[in-house]
Amino acid sequence: MKNLTVKKSKACFDMAKKFIPGGVNSPVRAFKAVGMDPLFIEKGSGAYIYDADGHRYIDYVLSWGALILGHADPRVIKPVAGILKKGTSFGAPTKKEITLARLITELYPSIEKVRLTSSGTEAAMSAIRLSRGYTGKQKIIKFEGCYHGASDSLLVKAGSGAATFGVPSSSGVNQSFTQDTIILPFNNIDKVEEVIKREKNNLACVIVEPIPANMGVILPKDDFLKKLSKVTRENKVILIFDEVITGFRVALGGAQEIFSIRPDLTILGKILGGGFPIAAFGGKREIMDFLSPDGPVYQAGTLSGNPVAVEAGINTLKILIRNNKIYERLEALGMSLESGLKRIIRQTAFQVALQRQGSLFTLFFTDREEVADYDGVSRCDLRKFARFFQKMLSRGIYLAPSQFEANFISIKHSSADIKKTLSAVERSLNGDR
């Protein structure tokens, strides 16, 4: 295993810490969970990223799943360059916003109207506010390890960066903000049904990642999601699918297409912006019409639906729509990686569980054959994961720098990239017994 020379990244990080808290603008980027200083990235192209010291890596982070077409796809970048010449933001409506909204409603039958925002956190926060305003009820249910952004009422037993740092809830969040948030274990439908039936008169909504990916990829068991849909519908509780990660990723119509479920509200992001900051929430017409200016629930954003992000999103979605082979290719690459990883795990007798859905995957360093909830995730060996991450990085493979995150494949990844990745995994695991 070669040692990486990252003097320029180290210098950048030392300088960043003088001006930016922790030297990063989002906690998981700090690499603390893997015992390293972060790499500073200079550029990306296709399936690869290049750090400040000139090293190239096969990228399985892809801006945390946003870049399904890979880095700097000219079919997205060129139209955006044209939009930039006309202006970046107007704080007023543009025709392209209608185009993007129409595309979303065509791809997601559960969404009759949609409101654009600038981030997934904003969309999730707004969807919950809308649920409370529409139902007149206050309590919400979320699931352990599911991450729905960094708003106060949702930052309780959250995944993503919060899980990485072992923070079940953030300092600075008043208890009053979380007292109406009920936390339940994912995949335990009996507990969910019990609580919903008990709290239905006070319960505004249930928010869930249909395929949790912010504590690593967790697959829903049996008919968990269908039963969740049924019990919320029967008890007049709004069901919110947070598809910021799974939307346009596991299928063009997201997880709700795979599981044939129509939630009341849906949150979208990541791929929706083609690498630019944009998100959205949408759903049934009668619920969405409660939003201001037509209804009493206030939500606003200066840069919501800005022309640059909207243009990138439109072109990304049109590429996905026109080429129906993209998802077949992503599944083939995912299957190739999965079969190779499982072969290596069997041969090395290493305690690792692989979980995958399409182009999403996580390697859990655990003695369990399956990880089904936050409790299972929390029992993973974080030291072994950190060593594995460091070894993979030294071999040119850039994975998510936390056991509690998903990894992603783009259409720019090749069979050769998968082969190189498997070779790196085999050498990394064989050297760590």
Tokens read off for 367: 């003695």
Alpha-carbon distance of 265 to 128, in angstroms, equals 9
Q: Write the DSSP string, 168-219.
A: SB-TT--HHHHTTEEEE-TT-HHHHHHHHHHHTTTEEEEEE-SS--SSS--P
Alpha-carbon distance of 166 to 162, in angstroms, equals 6
Alpha-carbon distance of 160 to 146, in angstroms, equals 8
Closest-CA residue to 204 (of 311, 131, 304):
131
Are 313 and 273 in contact, with CB atoms under 8 Å apart? yes
Alpha-carbon distance of 182 to 191, in angstroms, equals 12
Q: Which of 32, 270, 391, 412 is catalytic?
A: 270
| Alpha helices, H only, 108-168 | 120-135, 160-164
Closest-CA residue to 350 (of 378, 388, 379):
388
Alpha-carbon distance of 414 to 392, in angstroms, equals 18
Q: Which of 51, 59, 73, 242 is catalytic?
A: 242
Q: Is 113 a catalytic residue?
A: no
State the DSSP H helix or E strand holding residue 32, giving kind and residue range, or none if neither.
Answer: none
Closest-CA residue to 241 (of 152, 142, 314, 317):
142
Tell me the β-bridge partners of 57. Answer: 49
State the DSSP H helix or E strand holding residue 363, giving kind and residue range, or none if neither.
Answer: strand 360-364
Tell me the β-bridge partners of 251. Answer: 247
Are 409 and 330 in contact, with CB atoms under 8 Å apart? yes
Looking only at the bridges linking them, the beta strands covering 139-143 and 181-184 are parallel
Q: Is 226 a catalytic residue?
A: no
Q: Which of 48, 57, 108, 147 is catalytic?
A: 147
Which residues are within 8 A (CB) of 74 and not within 5 positions of it... i.e. 6 or more apart?
none
First-to-last CA distance in the chain? 15
345: number of Cβ within 10 Å: 18
Counting runs of H as helices and runs of E as strands, what totals does the chain give?
Answer: 16, 14
Are 229 and 261 in contact, with CB atoms under 8 Å apart? yes
Q: Is 373 a catalytic residue?
A: no
State the DSSP H helix or E strand holding residue 343, giving kind and residue range, or none if neither.
Answer: helix 326-348
User: Left, alpha or beta for 277 (phi > 0: left; psi -120 to 50: alpha)?
Assistant: beta
Residue numbers annotated as active site: 147, 242, 270
